[in-house]
Amino acid sequence: MSEPIRVLVTGAAGQIAYSLLFGIAKGDVFGKDQPVILLLLDITPMLPVLEGVVMELQDCALPLLREIVPTDKEEVAFKDLDAAILVGSMPRRDGMERKDLLKANVAIFKSQGTALEKYAKKTVKVLVVGNPANTNCLIAAKSAPSIPKENFSCLTRLDHNRARSQVAMRCSVPATHVKNVIIWGNHSSTQYPDVHHCVVNKSGSELACFDAVKDDAWLKGEFITTVQQRGAAVIKARKLSSAMSAAKAICDHMRDIWTGTSEGDFVSMGVYSTGNSYGVPDDLIYSFPVHIKGKSWKIVEGLDINSFSRTKMDATAAELIEERDTAVAFLGV
């Protein structure tokens, strides 16, 4: 058995965490022989609820779960971390302007970035889930200057999985038979789900997605809007936001960082854009297709971008620039 790793989940009394913590604790993310110490951070009023979550984790009697530390203190939660999954954020309330939402979240993620800087290992891998995830991730990274920017990513794997599943259902194949969908840009309704490089295994042969689906109008229209608006559709149906599927995507994202991606496969994650070869402006957290090896991601190079894709990639970049500039202005306040 390896030494235990220290894994933080914020918003730990919330519904995404409730679906997530069991998967981490039983070895679905960091490996079946990797013991974990779970640090669970939430705001003070949620500590009684968090105590119930701790009881349930104890009652699972999981062999890899060595210790559980529930807390409302950043100096406890961020100490010597190997991995940080930042789920907690300020949700948008009725009548709230987007800039007010950004301002509230800048305060949270500046504070958590500062705590990462002060208390966590410099090798910590940080995944931001709380929305607006891309910009929250950028603020956390800017607030932890001695931790490499490459160690920060935001969750677009849920969008990636949604896109993969839509194609699979359309082609009547398992989702595992669809690979290399791409989510470009922001985890918002401007994101661009791109299947121009996607491959579908149908009846034993690998086909380009457009050849497998045989419905270009659907792929360039309804497919894109379905993926873009899926989160809102879940809220409308459940009266609650995606939790099970978000937790599964978090597990997929962190497992791929820890163990790598298969040869020839790529996944989507929001990463630091500086130096990319796709004409995306620098200093954003923007979702790209990536390969992962040795816990390091690399943006997949050399993919052809047609004019349809270019327009959509630029539109989501423009939204991210606006978000970043608003958020960075608040950083100095």
Packed helices 47-59 and 15-25: angle between N→C axes, nearest 10 degrees: 30
Q: What's the burial of 214, exposed, middle or buried (CB within 10 Å: 0-12/13-18/19+)?
A: exposed
Q: State yes or no: 42 annotated in a binding site.
A: yes
Binding site annotation covers 328?
A: no
| Rounded alpha-carbon distances, angstroms, from residue 307 to 33, 132, 178, 196, 304 | 47, 27, 24, 12, 10
Angle at CA of residue 78, ends 146 and 268, nearest 5°? 70
- The single-letter DSSP state of residue 185 is B
Of 177, 187, 197, 291, catalytic = 187
Q: Is 134 part of any known ligand binding site?
A: no
187 has catalytic annotation: yes
Query: What is the C-alpha to C-alpha distance for residues 108 and 110, in angstroms, rounded to an integer?
Result: 6
The verdict on whether residue 131 carries a ligand-binding annotation is: yes
Tell me if 62 sits within 8 A of 26, measured CB to CB: yes
The answer to whether 267 is annotated as binding is no
Residue 129 is assigned to a ligand binding site: yes
The answer to the question of whether 130 is labelled as a binding residue is yes
Binding residues: 42, 92, 98, 105, 129-131, 162
Indicate which residues carry an active-site annotation.
187
Binding residues for substrate: 92, 98, 131, 162
Binding residues for NAD(+): 42, 105, 129-131
